Copies of this chain bind each other. A is one copy, B any other.
């Protein structure tokens, strides 16, 4: 058993989900998931496809698309839209939060975490009687570099 970017917990969730839905394990899915969970980025499908092609040049875009869809359905991936016209995905690791600072000039994305904000969020949700399952928190503006330099696209 070689080491893998997919941790045991994710593997378990996945196996349960696939078993329950009669899905099959394939070499393509393994390759795609390996690449996906190995990336720290917010990957777009196209990026991931390119990464995957280096491992197996015969994997189609649609397969990457469908695999990400599957991961999203079983909760192992989260789909995000940052405003350029394409969806991005990131691995959902339990207990981690992925809040973002996004530079509108160069596209830089910085992740941050703030437990106090999380706590206040839960409070607000409670006030409205909501049961929260996930959240998204983004701030858009200019990163330090683009505040000085005449902003140029990454």
Chain A positions within 8 Å of B, measured between CB atoms, are 79, 81, 83, 101, 103-104, 110, 112, 114, 116-117, 120-121, 124-125, 127-144, 147
Contacts and interface: CB of A to CB of B under 8 A. Distances in A.
A132 B140 contact: yes
Given A101-B128, A112-B124, A128-B101, A139 B135 contact: yes
Closest 8 CB pairs of A and B: A81-B81, A129-B144, A132-B141, A135-B139, A133-B141, A132-B139, A131-B142, A136-B138
B143 A139 contact: no
A83 B88 CA distance: 11
Contacts of A147: 129, 131
